[in-house]
Amino acid sequence: MKLSKTEEELMNHLWKLNKAFMKDLLEVYPEPKPATTTVATLLKRMTGKGFVGYKLLGNARQYYPLVKKKDYFSKHLDGLIK
C-alpha cells in the first residue's frame, strides 16, 4: 500500500519523532501549518492503512509508526522497479 504525498510528509515527521501527540506533529510543520482537522484526517487514514498506531492516554492519542522508514521505501522502490 502506498501513501499520498501529504501522508508521506506526515509520516516522515512521525518517523523523526518516533512517538507524538497531535500538538507535537503540528509543531514540526513549517509555516503555514496545516489545520488540526487536516492532520487528524491524515492520521485516521494512515491508521486505517496500517501505517500508524496510537495509544490512548486520557483524552489524547499518542501516535507512533507501525512501519519502519526503510521498509516502506524499499517496498516503494521495488514497486517502481517492477
pLDDT at 82 over 60: no
pLDDT at 48: 96
Which pairs from 1-6 meet CB under 8 Å and 24+ separation?
1/49, 1/50, 1/51, 2/76, 2/79, 3/46, 3/49, 3/51, 3/72, 6/42
**What pTM, to 2 d.p., does this model score?**
0.86
Q: What digits encode the pLDDT tens for the residues 11-54? A: 999 999 999 999 999 999 999 999 999 999 999 999 999 999 99
Q: What digits encode the pLDDT tens for the residues 66-75? A: 999 988 877 7
